[in-house]
Amino acid sequence: MKNLNDAKDTINELLAAHGLRRTSAGRAVMAWMLQHAETSWTHAKLSDALFRETALSLDRVTLYRLLDRLAQVGLLIRSVDSERVRHYQAVPATAVSAETMPHFECQACHRNFELEAASAQFEKAARAALEALEAVGHLGLSVDFSVHGVCVDCTPATGHAA
């Protein structure tokens, strides 16, 4: 039981440290996302999973707002696929920051991949882009890197997309 209480305390501290209220919905969603950190969730898939596995039923709008709020403060990564569907994922421990975690979407199979190995290079590029915006008077808050192409599984042996 101590581990469960420790996890609850950690999530409460995490939410509070990012200026968020510690609601039961916020705690439940953040706990789920951390427990399934390797998975990228759409709103619909997350809603279904939460209800199926924990019996938690959240209003559609409440869940949308909560996910966006968690992404805005950097606790979740938000990416948009080629069909304009938002995906949310817990920030990996290896990520430099949520704002620059690069994603790759395969245009053949539509899987999403994190490009963790390149995150430091993307972080440097993001800082340069934000500094360039600031130099001309704009206030850039974040940079979203989304790379589209063909994954290694969908690329023929010739090295070119089908």
Tell me: the pLDDT tens digits for 50-64?
Answer: 999 888 888 899 999
Contact predicate 43/63, CB 8 Å: yes
Residues 6+ apart with CB under 8 A from 47: 58, 60, 63
Residue range 23-29: mean pLDDT, rounded: 91
* Residue 136 exposure: Cα atoms within 13 Å on the Cβ side: 6
Residue range 40-44: mean pLDDT, rounded: 91
Closest CA to 37 of 76, 86, 80: 76
pTM confidence score: 0.61
Confidence of residue 111 (pLDDT cuts 50, 70, 90): confident
Percent of the chain scoring above 70 in pLDDT:
82
Contact predicate 37/90, CB 8 Å: yes
The yes-or-no verdict on residue 66 having pLDDT over 90 is yes
3-class secondary-structure state, position 88: strand
pLDDT at 33: 92
pLDDT at 98: 52
Q: Which residue carries 């589209």 as its tokens?
A: 148
* Burial category of 30 from C-beta neighbours within 10 Å (exposed 0-12, middle 13-18, buried 19 and up): buried
Tell me how far apart the alpha carbons of residues 70 and 26 are, in angstroms, rounded to a whole number: 9
59's tokens: 């209003």
Cross-sheet strand order for the sheet of 146-149 = 112-114, 103-106, 146-149
Confidence of residue 43 (pLDDT cuts 50, 70, 90): very high
Q: 6-15, 77-86, 93-102: which range is least confident on average?
A: 93-102
Residue range 124-138: mean pLDDT, rounded: 87
| Mean of pLDDT over the chain | 80
